[in-house]
Each structure stands twice: as structure tokens, then as C-alpha cells.
Amino acid sequence: MRKANLSYICQECGMVHARWAGRCSGCQAWSSLTEQKASPANKRRITGAATRSPGMEVVALADANPASIPRPAPTGIAEFDRVCGGGFTPGSATLIGGEPGIGKSTLLLQIALKAPAGAVYITGEESLDQVRTRATRLSGTDKLATDLSLAAETDISAICRYIQAHRPALVVIDSIQTVYSSDVEGTPGSVAQVRTCAFELISVCKSVGSPLVMIGHVTKEGTLAGPRVLEHLVDTVLYFEGDRSAGYRILRGIKNRFGALDEIGIFEMTGTGLAGVANPSHLFMAERSKSPSPGIATVALLEGSRAILADVQALVCPTSFATPRRSVVGWDSNRLAMVTAVLDTHCGMSLGACDIYLNVAGGLRIKETAADLAVAAVLTSAAVGAPLPTDTVIFGEASLTGEIRPVGQALLRLKEAERLGFAAAMTPTLDKVSVKATALRISPVTKLSDFVYDMQQRPDQRENADGRR
């Protein structure tokens, strides 16, 4: 017989089950269910409470006073402010996720060091000496001129009492998985603990108007560990990503109640902490030799409100496997399959007997469809052995009918290319205003087949083909 008042909660996704099972039916994780007693709050009947309640107070929307709406205060780290909507809003809650070692603690300590007097950095992961050593390294001096308070505390009630009494200018929790509440069963980091502690922290920070930043660990699959509900509780969710071997990191906004969503902040890990990269295009453009080679092009992308240029490279060679290889780094492999199908069907260029290797320079991950034309161009260039002009930037979306469709913010992309010394652009058909406003030579492509035909007719293509024969 099932024990009364017992339920089973999945530690991966937070789904509640009435019976124990070896596998969670929500997220399919194995051995993730743990026993949980129903709390007295869950047992309370709403109906009885409703009749006794004094009722809800409502206010007229028109009475809202814009001057009383809290404004974000800049953190002093421009790349961070760009992503979180201009800084921390009083009473707001922010969650930062990322792989171990990506630089979450480093970034937040840098922010805390620049914060106004009264900020507190609470660590449950490192000792105070470790944090002090890091702060010295980040500041480049032994004599730290800062009013930042440190604490190595994991008990939620002690943390909340401190926040209530001191109203800190900023509260940093490193990390939410190490904090525990003695009122809840389970080890620190379990779903019930993480949910309760986050809820208490958010409530107390809202009541005193202190901005709260919590660091969250990510699972093997790359999502924030603990319940999804954590993402719903907070105002802003940011992910720190990037290849640890490539020196730069990208801070991406996943949810933001205070600003634009798709902004990214780009940082470089240096000997003295994370430094914002003001000119990211240089990171994603490979060194080019004087003599151009086939299979490389520069694409103009849009990340939030700024344009970034990145190099796309392709290698196309006859396959020696029964099924040709498709190896893609930095782009969607389904999108590559679509572009090769369009090249095959509408442009007469069959790559079915070839292996294809596609790479985006610098470890960048492109999510935009504006890279379609550049990918089609590098594949064609690699397949026919003719280089693309090195002074030309490329962008445009390919449709399944083989036409090139316009993409948003064309002028912004053209301006970034102009700034970096490009002389021409291969684009979808542009509006007259954009064409007039740019100094670049524009070669519009309306049909992908026209571009492929031109490439196949080029004299250097014939020479290359002869050379191979």
C-alpha cells in the first residue's frame, strides 16, 4: 500500500510522481526520483482560507507613477549591461548558468568589486581566502580599495537575516546549489532545496530592494541543474557559454524581463579576469593568406543589436565511405542538409558523392538563417575549386525554391563590413535606402542557380579543374 502524504520528485526536471519509478516519465532520466513528504502548506484547503481572507487589493493601472518604477543601475561592465538590459534593477533576481570553469565566479566577483558600497558576495563553493586571492588577482593589487563584504555561508536563514538587516547594494550567491534550508528535506542541490532557497532569497531581496544574482550549475545536457521552476521564478536568465580552449566567452540572455532578449556579451579570459571584447568580428575572422583559396567566405551576422562578421569554411572532397560524411562545427546540420538539397535540385550541383566539412572560425555557433547564402557560396567555391573574392561579405537566406530572401537589418551588417575594410557585398535584393547609404559595391543574388552558374563559368575554376585532372 502507498504511504500516505508521500510523493516522488525528479531531481532533474522537478516533475512530481505519485509512485516511485526507476525512470522519470517527464525527462526520461534514470534513478532521479526521490521521496518527498507533502508539506503542511500543500495540505491546506483553499476553500476555507478563501472565506476568511480579507480579499485582494487592486489599483488602477492609470495611477501608476512612472517615476517610482525602479531603473537599472549600470554595473560598470559594459558587455554585461548590454545583455541584462542596462544593469541590475533594484529588487530583481538574475540567474547565471554555465559549465564549470567557464568564468561565472570570476565575472560576478568582478561585478561585485565594482558595485556600490555594501554589496555582499556569499560563497558556498570556495573558501574566503580563495575569493580574496582571486579578488587580488582581478584588481592587480594587494591593497584592495573596496567595500565589498564576503561570507562563506550556506544556511539560507542566516543569509536572509543578513539581507533583511543590511539591505546590501548587491547580493551574489555562488552558487544556489550549495545553499540549504533546514526546514526542507534533501541534500543541498536537490530540487526541493534549490526551489525553496531560491524562493526565499528572491522574496527577501524584493522586500528590501536589493538586486540578487545567483549562480546556477548546468547539467551534462547543458540546461540549468535543478527545477525548471527556477527559471520561472527569476527575472533574468543568462547563460555563459563558449569553448574553454578558445579564449573568449559569450554571455547570452535566455529570459529578460527588463531588456532585449537576444543580446550577447563577448568576453575574453585574460590573466586579470574577463575583459569585454569591443571588436568581436576580429575574433571570428581567420587569417587570410595573400592568394585566396577556395571554400572560405565572410558572413555578416546579427547578434542582438549589433552586427558581427565571421568566416565560414568548407571542404568538399570525394567520399571513400558508403554514406558520405557531413561534419558541421558551429552551424545546424539540418540547415546544411537543406542547403545541399537546394544546390542539388535547383542549381544542378550534386554533392551526394562528396564528404562535406563545414566550420565556423573561432568556435562561434551561428543560429541565423542569414548564413545560408554564405554556406551555399563556400560549398560551391570548394566544389568547383574557385576562390570567392576576399573583399566581399555575404548574407542572405535561402528558400527551398532556390531563391535568396532578404534578412533583417541589412544596413547594420553592411556598415560593420564597411568599418572592417570590405569593399563589396553579396546580398539579397536590397531596398534603395540601404543601397544608397552604403559605400560597398552591392551584387544582389535573387536566384542561387545564377550564382552557381557564374562560379562554374569562372576562368580560375577551369584552370583549377584542369590542374586537378
Three-class DSSP category at 220: coil
C-beta closer to ligand TYD: residue 98 or 428? 98
Part of the chain binding ligand TYD (CB under 6 A), chosen from 13-21, 269-277, 337-345, 392-400 = 269-277
324 close to 356: Cβ distance less than 8 angstroms: yes
Choosing from 114, 137, 167, 326, the residue that interacts with ligand TYD (CB under 6 A) is 137
Query: Whose Cβ is closer to ligand TYD: residue 22's or residue 271's?
Result: 271
> How buried is 81 (Cβ within 10 angstroms: 0-12 exposed, 13-18 middle, 19+ buried)?
buried
Q: Which does 310 bind (CB under 5 to 8 A by kind): Mg ion, ligand TYD, none?
A: none
Q: Is 134 in the site for ligand TYD (CB under 6 A)?
A: yes
Is residue 242 a contact point for ligand TYD (CB under 6 A)? no
Q: Which stretch binds ligand TYD (CB under 6 A): 7-15, 19-27, 101-109, 257-265?
A: 101-109
Residue 280's binding partner, choosing from ligand TYD, Mg ion, none, with beta-carbon cut-off 5 to 8 A by kind? none
Using the rule CB under 5 A, give the single segment among 90-98, 100-108, 144-152, 406-414 that binds Mg ion.
100-108
Q: How far apart are CA 115 and CA 296, in angstroms?
A: 44
Q: What is the DSSP letter of 39?
A: P
Task: Residue 428: name the closest of 457, 400, 399, 454 by CA.
Answer: 399
Least distance CB 101 / Mg ion (angstroms): 8
> How much is the CA Rg of the chain, to the nearest whole Å?
27
Residue 102, contacted partner among ligand TYD, Mg ion, none, CB below 5-8 A by kind: ligand TYD
Map the footprint of ligand TYD across residues 272-301, applying CB under 6 A.
272-273
- Cβ atoms of 299 and 310 within 8 Å: the answer is yes
Single-letter residue type at 219:
T
Contacted entry of ligand TYD, Mg ion, none for residue 434, CB cut-off 5 to 8 Å set by kind: none
**Grid cell of 197 as nine digits:** 532557497
User: Residues near 308 by Cβ (< 8 Å), separated by ≥ 6?
Assistant: 280, 281, 284, 300, 301, 302, 364, 416
Residue 110 or 434 with smaller CB distance to ligand TYD:
110
Q: Which is nearer to Mg ion, 226 or 396 (CB)?
A: 226
197 vs 417, beta carbon nearer Mg ion: 197
Question: Which lies closer to ligand TYD via its Cβ, residue 104 or residue 413?
Answer: 104
Q: Which residues pair with 88 in a beta bridge?
A: 73
**Residue 106 lies near ligand TYD (rule: CB under 6 A):** yes
130 or 187, CB closer to ligand TYD?
130
Q: Which does 255 bind (CB under 5 to 8 A by kind): ligand TYD, Mg ion, none?
A: none
Smallest distance, Å, CB 209 to ligand TYD? 27
Q: Please say whether the dihedral angle defined by the alpha carbons of residues 218, 219, 221 and 226, taken in this order, is positive or negative.
A: negative
| Distances in whole angstroms, Cα of residue 278 to Cα of each of 251, 275, 283, 384 | 14, 9, 11, 37
Contact partners, residue 276, CB within 8 Å, separation at least 6: 77, 78, 79, 80, 265, 266, 267, 268
Which is nearest to 357 in space by CA: 322, 320, 325, 319?
A: 325
Under the criterion CB under 5 A, does residue 154 sit at the interface with Mg ion?
no
Q: State the Cα torsion 105-109-112-118 to the nearest 10°.
A: 100
Cell numbers 552558374 correspond to what residue?
453
CB-nearer residue toward ligand TYD: 127 or 327: 127
The answer to whether residue 105 forms part of the interface with Mg ion (CB under 5 A) is: yes
391 phi, psi to nearest 5 deg: -95, 15
Instruction: Please select the residue that binds ligand TYD; options are 14, 97, 98, 216, rule is CB under 6 A.
Output: 98
Residue 102 interacting with ligand TYD (CB under 6 A): yes
Contact 138, 110 (CB under 8 A): yes
The reply on whether position 114 binds ligand TYD by CB under 6 A is no
Q: How far is the CB of 329 from ligand TYD (least distance, A)?
A: 23
Instruction: Using CB under 5 A, list all residues that contact Mg ion.
Output: 105
**Contact residues for ligand TYD, defined by CB under 6 A:** 98, 100-106, 134, 137-138, 269, 271-273
